[in-house]
Homo-oligomer: A and B are copies of this chain.
Amino acid sequence: MSDRNQWKHDPRQVLRAGAGFDVRSFDRGGTPGWSRDRATGEAAMVERGADLSELQERLYADGRTGGTRSVLLVLQGLDTAGKGGIVRHVAGMVDPQGLALASFGVPTAEERTHHYLWRIERRLPPAGRIGVFDRSHYEDVLVVRVDSLVPEAVWRPRFDEINAWERRLVDGGTTVIKIALMVSYAEQGERLMERLDRPDKHWKFSMGDVTTRSKWSAYQEAYAEMFGRTSTEHAPWYVVPADKKWYARLAVTEILTRTMEDLDLGWPAATFDVVQARAALQATMVRPPA
């Protein structure tokens, strides 16, 4: 394992949304816990990616041999906050066979005929996998609230419902890591403008992005209450400043890696007689059977 002590403070401590966390004064351009420069951060991320890759393989091996553990990384953030970049650059460092990705957009006709957790449940990672959710059930207390898609009397009870549901996941062996990527209003504007300036980015833009941006304050309020109500002991929120993409990726890598280190996964013991297997295999070494 490489040196995790390059961090001045554990990002799981400094980024955790605890009591008194104030989303309005939160600096989205900061690098909490990391006092070194960008180049050092990028090098550290590559090194920790190698650790993460081995941890992923151990988790996978555990799942293949009867283990019930899995990891679920939930990504939330407004447009341009960098959710896709986390999937590509952080999750992309491990074997894709060990991932279970899911992206949650506007619910389909079928999904709308079910409880809002139904489509989420179906995409939970199986044992041995790292699930990554690009948006999640939290949309049901964010966009649903901001756009008044259901009355407050319907969405407000969801905080408790989500906490209880995540409790069940954790009890079942899933480690839940919730990441909110928080971009500043100015930076979001620049990133959207870049999509308009570059023809190879036009496909990522829609006029709806400007509409959503106009609801900025309502979203900040919705995020603030979401943190207050659903950052639990069993499934805490980590609020990650996202104006510096290199920092956000480094921080998520470190949070994920440290959390998986704490699982203390060994390699599964052989379920067969190794000496006997070696003898049986040795007997086949001479030449192919006719």
From the candidates B88, B101, B272, name the one contacting A207 in the complex (CB within 8 A).
B272
Residues of B within 8 A of A270 (CB): 199, 202-203, 205
Who on chain B is nearest to A202 by CB?
Answer: B270
From the candidates B88, B272, B287, name the one contacting A205 in the complex (CB within 8 A).
B272
Residues of B within 8 A of A110 (CB): none
Q: Report the count of interface residues on A (CB-CB < 8 A).
A: 51
In the bound assembly, the distance between CA atoms of A287 and B189 in angstroms comes to 10
In contact, B203 and A65 (Cβ under 8 angstroms)? yes
Judge whether A55 is part of the interface by a CB distance below 8 angstroms: no
From the candidates B84, B272, B285, name the one contacting A206 in the complex (CB within 8 A).
B272
Residues of B within 8 A of A288 (CB): 185, 216-217
Who on chain B is nearest to A218 by CB?
Answer: B289
In contact, A189 and B281 (Cβ under 8 angstroms)? yes
A residues 193-245 with Cβ under 8 Å of B? Answer: 193, 196, 199-200, 202-203, 205-207, 210, 213-217
A and B contact pairs by CB, cutoff 8 A, 20 listed: A65-B203, A87-B95, A88-B96, A92-B96, A96-B96, A96-B99, A97-B134, A185-B287, A185-B288, A186-B285, A189-B284, A189-B285, A193-B281, A202-B268, A203-B270, A205-B277, A210-B277, A217-B288, A217-B289, A217-B290
